[in-house]
Amino acid sequence: MPTPRETILTALADLLRTVPHVPVLRGEVLPERVPPSGLMILRDGSPGEPGVTLSPLRFHYQHRAEIEVVVQGATRDAAFDTLCASIGAAIAADRTLGGLCDWVEAEAPEPVDLPVEGAASLKAAVVPVILHYSTADPLAG
């Protein structure tokens, strides 16, 4: 049986897959070719130090996952903007991942242009996503 943390990260990946025409990978390396519509790679990130309450014992996390957003091509600025807006809209549509989280929020990306020898440059950024949830056990969290 998967842990709550794994269940939440899987649900986040599934939510990102609702963005049309953009592949979502989880924990993969950047492929040699980026699809014309762009690409998202979900990184598990870090749960950080939990807040703890007693009676009942609960560990409260603000888990920082990361979505690597990559686009390539002549219209990469517009494609990047559209993709980031689509991620925001998908998260806003389900801020609790179907009740698995207390709250999900994305932070602003800091885009960079990356040159590629012999091809159009990439526009990429990490979009931090904060997942607020609680568990009864930090190893099961």
Q: Are strands 39-46 and 24-26 parallel, antiparallel or unpaired?
A: parallel
Residue 82 has pLDDT above 70, yes or no: yes
Domains of the chain listed by start with CATH number: 4-135 (3.30.2000.10)
- CB atoms inside a 10 Å sphere around CB 11: 19
Residue 141 pLDDT class (50, 70, 90 cuts): low
Q: Which residues pair with 130 in a beta bridge?
A: 64, 105
CA–CA gap between residue 6 and residue 8 (Å, rounded):
5
Residue 121 pLDDT class (50, 70, 90 cuts): confident
The model carries a pTM of: 0.94
